[in-house]
Structure 1
Amino acid sequence: MNLKIVLTFLMAISFCSCNGQQTNANTITTATPMPINRFDKALFQLINSDDTTLNRQLLEQYPQMTEILGKGVLNMQSPDMPGFFIKLENFYSEPTLKNLYADAIKKYDSVTEIEQSLGNAFAWIHETFPAMQIPALYMHVSGFNQNVLVGDSLVSLSIDKYMGEDYPLYQDFFYDYQRRKMQPSHVVPDYIAGWLMSEYPFNGKENVLLDRMIYDGKIKYLVLSALPDMAPAELFGYTNEAWEWCKNNEANIWKAIVERKHLYTPDQMTTLKYFEDMPAQFLASDAPGNIGSWVGLKIVSQFMKETNATPETLMKNENSQEILTLSKYKP
């Protein structure tokens, strides 16, 4: 089984074009809801019980999810390994994590609205990408570990990362700019982005800024298309002031990237700075984080406008330079 772990900082970001509309935007609002398999509740029952028969029940009911969690969170390759369930219970029995788990289960006891939003979004994805497999959806708790777990036919979200920015425990572990993304409103876009990244993995040069920009821009463009009602600033984890700063300084941002020769230079440390959530003070004192994704999305949106390409054509084009050139992006 292939296990892919998708990290939060590359996802859950959207963008609004100048007129607030997008040609490929989803108009489906009454699709069949996408059911979420509550692996999180089943595991919580296990760790709060002395009944060892629940181990076998969990494995029989959620075989793939149990294996994926073991690999992604416990670093154990198979539930058949000796001590698997002992390690599982010990991990989740840590008092702070156990309290977090209980809070998460309570907050997400009902997920009806989330399931409807996912149904609408994945209906658009199926319509736009007919050959794409639609995954089974799950929820888990990782203790701030792996936020999104993706298997061959499933995607699972760690709900303890979506408790709301004012959740008390977050104050001890996360900065303000990180907590702004840890909202219930990020659950649906993170499911979608996680699956899209799995179906269209990054094939460019990891250290080259342009390649990373365009890839992130593609994913964010599709997330916006699937969820046209999502507020761009909120999805970026930006304040309204930060969003306006990006819009007002777009030309200066691009000029700084080009003049510093960052666009093509394969410098890993430099490239990573453009995708961190922390404020991009290496560009300007007021610059918010994740500037690379913001610019990448601007380029991709302009490319789609100039070429009238379909989303499927966009995702099949892995030539970042060609997309930049055809976009005629010159802020």
Structure 2
Amino acid sequence: MKRPKHLVFLLIMLIVVLSACKRNPLKVDISDIQSEAEIVPFGELLFNIEEGDTLEAIAKLSNEYPDFFNLFTYRIIRIGGIGDQDFPELMKTFLADTLIQEVKVKTDSVFNNPKKLDKQLVKAFKYFAWHFPDKEIPTIYTYISGFNQSIVTAENLVGISLDKYLGRDCKYYQQLNTTPQYKIQNMHKDRIVPEVAYAWALTEFEDPNSATNLLDHIVQKGKLMYLVDAMLPDTPDSLKIGYSTEQLNWCQMNEVPMWTYLIEHKMLYSNKRMDIVRYVNDAPTTSGFPLESPGRTGVWIGWQIVRQYMKEHPEVTLEELMNNKEYQQILNESEYDPG
């Protein structure tokens, strides 16, 4: 039996509309992007130095990567500079430390296919380059830090402590007893690229002086998360923000009561430091919300506001969004209304 022509037409239009709804506007074509992040396996270069040639080889490494080398020795493992009298001995001690040697073995086993991570990082920064063609792409360094900072950034560089991403069940995190359990939940390799993207967004676009109240802060953080969306258009939201599936579902189910609470308690325009910290800083839960809530729910809400704003204003480029510091205007023009 033949379908009526008008029914066939309606079915085709429905398919087109549904396809348009599912299409991600941030999934742009990066095939022509020539800019590419350089990935430097700094840790491998450092640990491959043979004991007899330590000082000479370290000096060579310092000359090859001077900016990162100083960042690594001063800020990350904190043993000072190569010109310091006790530097050679301190570096030798770091490289020969029994725990560091064990962690090196563990890191090598977790990251047994480093090219996979490299490919993910290169792809993320190709998306960044598509949206910001005039900005430089950073050089990315991987290494073992002795469980110090996970991600560090400086001008045109990013550093990744691979030993901070060995998995939730890594025995060292429990033994050291210096990291709370809610943070350990994100110490796995799938979180590396989202954390790098967010750290780079912070480095390039955060302007704390432009944010005075809670609304300003949550929209500002929402913009940073939207940049993560742009750099990682195929990554699940749970990985982007570092929530479990249950935590993300909780936010989606409770978006209306959270927003209502902030309005009814006149929190949006509070400039009290503790009110701001309560909603945007990392924590096991959000104080004042049910215990099932994750931390940083203000960041999640700001993310939804910015997403809605960009949906309402498809003519706005990502660069224009990131340079817009009129946070109230973004809220107003987003027509955000989770109810």
Aligned equivalent of 2:192 = 187
Aligned equivalent of 1:159 = 162
**Deviations 1:143-165 (CA, angstroms, capped at 9, x unpaired):** 22222222222111111111111
**Is the alpha carbon distance of 1:314 and 1:147 closer, same or farther for their aligned partners in structure 2, counting shifts above 3 Å?**
same
Shift of 1:129: 0.7
> Matches of 1:50 and 1:177 in 2, distance apart?
43
Aligned equivalent of 1:271 = 276
Greater shift, 204-213 or 145-154, is seen at 204-213
Aligned equivalent of 1:299 = 305
- Aligned AA (2:26): N
> After superposition, where does 1:118-129 map in structure 2 within 5 Å?
118-129=121-132
SS of structure 2 residue aligned to 1:150: strand
SS of structure 1 residue aligned to 2:122: helix
Greater shift, 114-123 or 97-106, is seen at 97-106
Aligned equivalent of 2:16 = none
Q: TM-score, normalised by structure 1?
A: 0.85
> Matches of 2:220 and 2:74 in 1, distance apart?
27
**Is the alpha carbon distance of 1:26 and 1:296 closer, same or farther for their aligned partners in structure 2, counting shifts above 3 Å?**
same
Shift of 1:134: 0.7
Unpaired runs of 5+ in structure 2? 1-20
Aligned equivalent of 1:9 = none
Q: Is the 2:306–2:330 Cα contact (8 Å) retained in structure 1?
A: yes
Shift of 1:246: 0.8
**Is the alpha carbon distance of 1:89 and 1:292 closer, same or farther for their aligned partners in structure 2, counting shifts above 3 Å?**
farther
> After superposition, where does 1:41-120 map in structure 2 within 5 Å?
41-46=44-49, 49-52=51-54, 53-75=56-78, 78-91=81-94, 93-120=96-123
Higher helix content, 1 or 2: 2
**Deviations 1:85-118 (CA, angstroms, capped at 9, x unpaired):** 4333434554334422332234324321222222
- Aligned AA (1:296): G
- Aligned AA (1:217): G
**Is the alpha carbon distance of 1:49 and 1:121 closer, same or farther for their aligned partners in structure 2, counting shifts above 3 Å?**
same
> Matches of 1:218 and 1:92 in 2, distance apart?
40
> Matches of 1:155 and 1:162 in 2, distance apart?
16
Q: Is the 2:308–2:334 Cα contact (8 Å) retained in structure 1?
A: yes
One of 236, 252, 257 as aligned partner of 2:257: 252
Shift of 1:282: 2.1
Q: Is the 1:40–1:105 Cα contact (8 Å) retained in structure 2?
A: no
**Deviations 1:189-210 (CA, angstroms, capped at 9, x unpaired):** 2222222222213244566322
Aligned equivalent of 2:317 = 310
> Matches of 1:29 and 1:112 in 2, distance apart?
19
One of 24, 27, 30 as aligned partner of 2:26: 24
User: Which has the greater radius of gyration?
Assistant: 2
**Deviations 1:218-263 (CA, angstroms, capped at 9, x unpaired):** 1111112221221112333322222111111101101112222222
**Deviations 1:6-44 (CA, angstroms, capped at 9, x unpaired):** xxxxxxxxxxxxx66532234547977744101111222
One of 147, 151, 155 as aligned partner of 2:150: 147
SS of structure 1 residue aligned to 2:53: coil
Q: RCO higher in 1 or 2 (8 Å CA, sep ≥ 6)?
A: 1
> Matches of 2:81 and 2:227 in 1, distance apart?
34
- Aligned AA (1:49): E
Q: TM-score, normalised by structure 2?
A: 0.83
Q: Is the 1:186–1:235 Cα contact (8 Å) retained in structure 2?
A: yes
- Aligned AA (2:322): M
SS of structure 2 residue aligned to 1:115: helix
> Matches of 1:118 and 1:313 in 2, distance apart?
24
Aligned equivalent of 1:323 = 330
SS of structure 2 residue aligned to 1:138: strand
Identity rate of aligned residues, in percent?
Answer: 28
SS of structure 1 residue aligned to 2:48: helix
> Matches of 1:131 and 1:88 in 2, distance apart?
38
